[in-house]
C-alpha cells in the first residue's frame, strides 16, 4: 500500500494534537481547564432543538437530501442576509447550504486551484484555507497579518509576481485567531486588489454575530462589486451554538456558487433535512439568543483580559469573535509558553504558531468556557507568575 504524497504535506490538524495532550493529562487525573477550542459551551437554543426533534419524526426527512439544500433553507438564508446586512441574494443561484462552513472552505479550492497555483492565505489564519489549497495541489502564499496593521493584510506588500499568479484570496473578519475586525473601507480595498489581479475572493465570516460593546460587524457582500468576484462563507455554528449540527452556507457570486455545487454534488449528498429545517427555524425565529450569548461572552472577555493584563500578557480587547490573542512573555516560544501554562496551572490554550509563522509569540484563549470553569481558571491565573 502506498499513500499519496499529498498527505505528507498535511500537518496533523492543530486541535487533534491539543486534544491528545489534554486527554493524556486528564487520564492521569489532572483537572484541565481548556480555553483551547472555539466551540460554544452553551447549548443550542431550545426552540431550535424542538423544531429539529419534530422534523426528525417526519419520514420525508429520513431519505437522501439534495446537495443544493431545501428551497426553504436557501430562502431563509437570503432573507437573513437581507435583514441583517441589507444584502440581496438570489436563493436559487447565490446561496448554497454547506455541511458546516469548514466543508465548503476546504472544497472550494478544487474549483480554482490547479497544480502549482497560488492561493493568498492569511497568516495567522484558520488552517483550512491553506490545507484546502494543498489538497487541491496548490501552494498557499502566506500574507502576514501584523499587529501594527491591526491584523489586516497589506495588499501593497504582496509581490506583484505572486499576485499575478494567484487565483484565490482568503480573508476572514471578524478574525480567528486575532479577534481583529475589518470595516467596509477595507473590503473595498480588497475588491480593488482582486479586480486588479483577476482574483476570486473567499471571505470567511462565521463570527459576524459574535460581537461586543454594540459593534455590528459588516458583511463583505455589502460591497456592491463583491458579488462580481467573491463569495462569503457563513455558519450557524457560532451564531446559534450549533457546531455539532454541522450547517453553514456560502453566498455570493453565482458562478462560484455553482462551481462549488458541482464539486459537492459529486462528493456529498447534502445536509440531513431535519437539520436544514432546524436551521430555517434558527434563521427565521427569535434572534434574542445572539444578544444573550454576546452579553455572556463580553463579561467573560472582560474578566479574562483583566487577569491577563495583571500577568503582563498583553492582549487587545476584541470587538468581535470569541478569542483573546495574547502576547507571550519575551524569551518564550508560543509552544513553550503553552506547555508551561498547561503544566503549571492546568490551563490549556492554543499556541499561536499553530495558525502560521506570524502567530509565533502569541497564544489564543477561547471564551467558550463555562462561567464557573472560567472563574476557576481566573483564580489559577491570579495565583500564578507568568515569568
Ligand atoms: C475562521 C473559521 N472559519 C470556519 C470555521 C468552521 O466553522 P463550521 O465548520 O462549524 O461552520 C471556524 C471554526 O472554528 C473558524 O474559526
Interval 263-282: pLDDT, tens: 999 999 999 999 999 999 99
What lines the ligand 1 site, CB under 6 Å?
A: 38, 100-102, 126, 172, 176, 204, 206, 235, 237, 243, 248
For 346, left (φ over 0), alpha (ψ -120 to 50), or beta?
A: left
Q: Are 162 and 143 in contact (CB under 8 A)?
A: no
Atom 14 (ligand 1) nearest CA = 38
Q: Which atom of ligand 1 is nearest to the CA of 243?
A: 10
Instruction: Label residue 183 exposed, middle or buried (CB < 10 Å: 0-12, 13-18, 19+).
Output: exposed
Distance CA 47, CA 286 (A): 9
Residue 70 has what pLDDT? 98
Residue 9 has what pLDDT? 87
Residue 14 has what pLDDT? 64
Atom 4 (ligand 1) nearest CA = 102
Residue 21 has what pLDDT? 81
Q: Which atom of ligand 1 is nearest to the CA of 101?
A: 11
Q: Which atom of ligand 1 is nearest to the CA of 247?
A: 11
Q: Directed axis angle between helix 273-284 and helix 46-56, to 10°? A: 150
Buried b (16+ CB within 10 A) or exposed e, 42-73: eebbeebeebbeebeeeeebeeebebbbbeeb
Q: Which atom of ligand 1 is nearest to the CA of 102?
A: 9
Residue 15 has what pLDDT? 66
β-strand pairing of 350-351 with 362-366? antiparallel
Residues of the chain with pLDDT under 50: none
Atom 5 (ligand 1) nearest CA = 102
Mutate to test the pocket of ligand 1, among 145, 170, 176, 182 (most ligand atoms within 8 A of CB): 176
C-alpha cell at 233: 462563507
Amino acid at each position: 500500500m502506498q499513500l499519496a504524497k499529498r498527505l505528507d504535506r498535511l500537518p496533523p490538524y492543530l486541535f487533534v494534537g491539543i486534544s491528545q495532550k489534554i486527554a493524556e493529562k486528564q487520564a492521569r487525573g489532572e483537572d484541565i481547564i481548556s480555553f483551547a477550542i472555539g466551540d460554544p459551551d452553551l447549548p443550542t437554543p431550545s426552540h431550535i432543538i424542538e423544531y429539529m426533534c419534530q422534523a426528525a419524526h417526519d419520514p420525508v426527512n429520513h431519505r437522501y437530501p439534495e446537495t443544493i439544500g431545501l428551497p426553504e433553507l436557501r430562502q431563509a438564508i437570503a432573507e437573513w442576509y437581507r435583514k441583517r446586512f441589507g444584502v440581496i441574494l438570489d436563493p436559487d443561484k447565490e446561496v448554497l447550504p454547506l455541511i458546516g462552513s469548514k466543508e465548503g472552505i476546504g472544497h472550494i479550492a478544487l474549483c480554482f486551484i490547479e497544480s502549482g497555483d497560488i492561493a493568498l492565505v492569511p497568516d495567522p489564519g484558520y488552517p483550512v484555507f491553506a490545507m484546502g489549497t494543498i489538497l487541491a495541489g496548490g501552494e498557499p502564499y502566506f500574507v502576514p497579518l501584523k499587529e501594527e496593521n491591526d491584523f489586516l493584510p497589506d495588499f501593497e506588500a504582496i509581490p506583484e509576481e505572486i499576485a499575478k499568479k494567484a487565483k484565490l484570496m482568503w480573508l476572514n473578519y471578524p478574525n480567528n485567531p486575532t479577534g481583529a475586525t475589518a470595516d467596509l473601507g477595507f473590503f473595498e480595498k480588497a475588491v480593488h486588489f482582486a479586480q486588479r489581479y483577476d482574483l476570486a475572493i473567499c471571505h470567511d465570516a462565521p463570527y459576524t454575530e459574535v460581537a461586543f460593546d454594540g459593534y455590528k460587524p459588516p458583511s463583505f457582500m455589502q460591497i456592491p462589486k463583491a458579488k462580481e468576484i467573491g463569495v462569503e462563507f457563513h455558519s450557524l455554528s457560532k451564531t446559534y451554538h450549533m457546531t455539532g449540527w454541522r450547517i453553514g452556507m456560502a453566498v455570493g457570486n453565482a458562478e462560484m456558487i455553482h462551481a462549488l455545487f458541482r464539486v459537492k454534488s459529486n462528493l456529498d449528498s447534502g445536509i440531513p433535512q431535519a437539520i436544514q429545517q432546524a436551521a430555517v427555524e434558527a434563521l427565521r425565529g427569535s434572534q434574542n439568543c445572539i444578544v444573550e450569548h454576546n452579553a455572556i461572552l463580553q463579561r467573560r472577555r472582560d474578566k479574562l483580559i483583566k487577569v491577563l493584563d495583571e500577568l503582563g500578557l498583553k492582549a487587545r480587547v476584541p470587538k468581535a469573535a470569541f478569542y483573546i490573542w495574547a502576547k507571550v512573555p519575551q524569551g518564550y516560544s508560543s509552544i513553550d509558553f503553552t506547555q508551561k501554562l498547561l503544566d503549571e496551572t492546568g490551563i490549556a490554550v492554543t499556541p499561536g504558531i499553530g495558525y502560521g509563522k506570524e502567530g509565533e509569540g502569541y497564544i489564543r484563549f477561547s471564551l467558550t468556557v463555562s462561567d464557573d470553569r472560567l472563574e476557576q481558571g481566573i483564580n489559577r491565573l491570579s495565583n500564578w507568575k507568568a515569568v
